[in-house]
């Protein structure tokens, strides 16, 4: 919510100094006072949270879970759209021939693919993949583009006011690199998410449930922090393992070329890491009963802060366990420390939280740093 409040604060002017409101935030503040500014902050935050589900291409998966949780009728499958009669100006023997019944000699379009997907419980797979990749691509660039415009463009001459590392920016070549790699990974992960959404949407095996009382409300409430801690723990231990010398140089170093990251950097990494992170995130859907809203809420929360933490913008958090954006920015700056994402719990537990009395660098591994030269 910090980014939305900051944006609203920047755009809003007080009634005393504003004869004519100059922006939407200004109009809200002019007519509704602070309530208007807070309303804008809430709306902006809600939009950013929803759009941030593009971080690992999860738009299609989130959409299907929400859709099914409301028990809405499934949209018309692409098979039904294609299984239409073709009207031709030829004898009746050639009229009214469904596309899905056409053979190779008739110039078939997609019947083999459609039949294959149907047999394996993956009806509309291509549609899910296209939606997953396309919507994630769009939302990823809207959210990242907004952060770039709001800070790196509009306030480029005042980095000391908002930037985690005010004296350091990515080189133009690294900026282009993170956008290209991030875009490719979003399309790739969006395709995987689309496949998962197709699998679950067609009623195949998963442990997701959709009735709130199916396992009792006590289980429902406990599962919220349980899923969060599972995802955070798996991300921490994998991330720390990826910083071992061999794996770091082989895989994770690609992500750390962005010493002063932007939101685009969040998924600018090796495709191997994208797959691993998605596996960690998706495991609860196939191993333990988890309500669709519990999983979706955790996913949106983690993805939202994942983008903000890579934004390079100084943002505080009103959530007690959520560290500010400087926490992860320092991970990129000092390399082998601060391995957590949405809590410092595991860093504190294993003494890998950055300390000011220790020295860190890309060649100082294992998360503990080393004594400063003054010691």
Domain boundaries, the chain: 1-54, 55-74+124-371, 78-118
pLDDT computed for residue 10 by the predictor: 38
pLDDT computed for residue 219 by the predictor: 97
Q: Which residue spans within the chain are E strands per DSSP?
A: 208-209, 290-291, 358-359, 370-371
Global pTM reads: 0.80
**Residue ranges in the chain whose pLDDT is less than 70:** 1-42, 44-56, 73-111, 113, 374-375
pLDDT computed for residue 346 by the predictor: 97
Q: Which residues pair with 209 in a beta bridge?
A: 291
170-205: b (≥16 Cβ within 10 Å) or e = beeebbebbbebbbebbbbbbbbbbbbbbbbbbeee
Q: Which residues contact 50 (CB under 8 A, 6 or more apart)?
A: 300
pLDDT computed for residue 69 by the predictor: 86
pLDDT computed for residue 99 by the predictor: 37
- Torsion angle, alpha carbons of 187, 188, 192, 195, to 10: 60
Percent helix, percent strand, percent coil in the chain, to nearest 5: 60, 5, 35
pLDDT computed for residue 59 by the predictor: 82
pLDDT computed for residue 256 by the predictor: 97
Nearest to 331 by CA among 344, 315, 322, 345: 344
In this structure, are residues 92 and 98 in contact, taking their beta carbons and an 8 Å threshold?
no
Residue 84 CA to residue 98 CA, distance in Å, equals 5
């Amino acid at each position: 919510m910090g980014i939305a409040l900051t944006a609203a604060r920047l755009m809003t002017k007080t009634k005393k100094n504003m004869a004519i409101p100059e922006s939407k935030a200004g109009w809200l503040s002019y007519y509704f006072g602070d309530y208007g500014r807070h309303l804008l902050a809430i709306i902006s935050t809600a939009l950013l949270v929803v759009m941030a589900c593009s971080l690992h291409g999860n738009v299609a998966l989130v959409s299907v879970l929400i859709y099914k949780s409301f028990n809405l009728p499934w949209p018309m499958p692409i098979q039904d759209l294609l299984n239409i009669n073709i009207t031709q100006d030829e004898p009746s023997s050639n009229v009214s021939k469904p596309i899905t019944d056409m053979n190779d000699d008739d110039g078939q379009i997609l019947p083999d693919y459609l039949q294959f997907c149907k047999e394996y419980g993956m009806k509309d797979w291509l549609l899910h993949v296209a939606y997953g990749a396309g919507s994630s691509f769009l939302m990823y660039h809207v959210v990242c583009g907004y952060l770039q415009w709001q800070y790196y463009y509009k306030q480029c001459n005042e980095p000391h006011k908002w930037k985690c590392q005010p004296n350091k920016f990515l080189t133009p070549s690294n900026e282009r690199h993170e956008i290209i790699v991030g875009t490719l990974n979003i399309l790739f992960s969006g395709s995987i998410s689309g496949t998962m959404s197709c699998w679950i949407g067609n009623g195949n095996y998963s442990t997701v449930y959709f009735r709130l009382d199916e396992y009792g409300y006590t289980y429902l409430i406990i599962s919220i922090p349980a899923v969060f801690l599972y995802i955070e723990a798996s991300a921490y231990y994998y991330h720390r393992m990826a910083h071992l010398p061999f794996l770091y140089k082989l895989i994770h170093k690609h992500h750390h070329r962005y010493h002063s990251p932007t939101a685009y950097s969040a998924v600018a990494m090796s495709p191997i890491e994208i797959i691993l992170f998605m596996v960690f995130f998706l495991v609860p859907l196939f191993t333990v009963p988890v309500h669709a809203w519990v999983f979706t809420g955790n996913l949106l929360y983690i993805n939202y802060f994942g983008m903000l933490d890579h934004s390079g913008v100084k943002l505080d958090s009103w959530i007690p366990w959520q560290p500010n954006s400087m926490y992860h920015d320092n991970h990129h700056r000092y390399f082998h420390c601060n391995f957590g994402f949405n809590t410092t719990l595991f860093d504190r537990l294993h003494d890998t939280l950055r300390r000011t009395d220790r020295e860190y660098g890309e060649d100082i591994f294992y998360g503990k740093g080393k004594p400063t030269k003054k010691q």
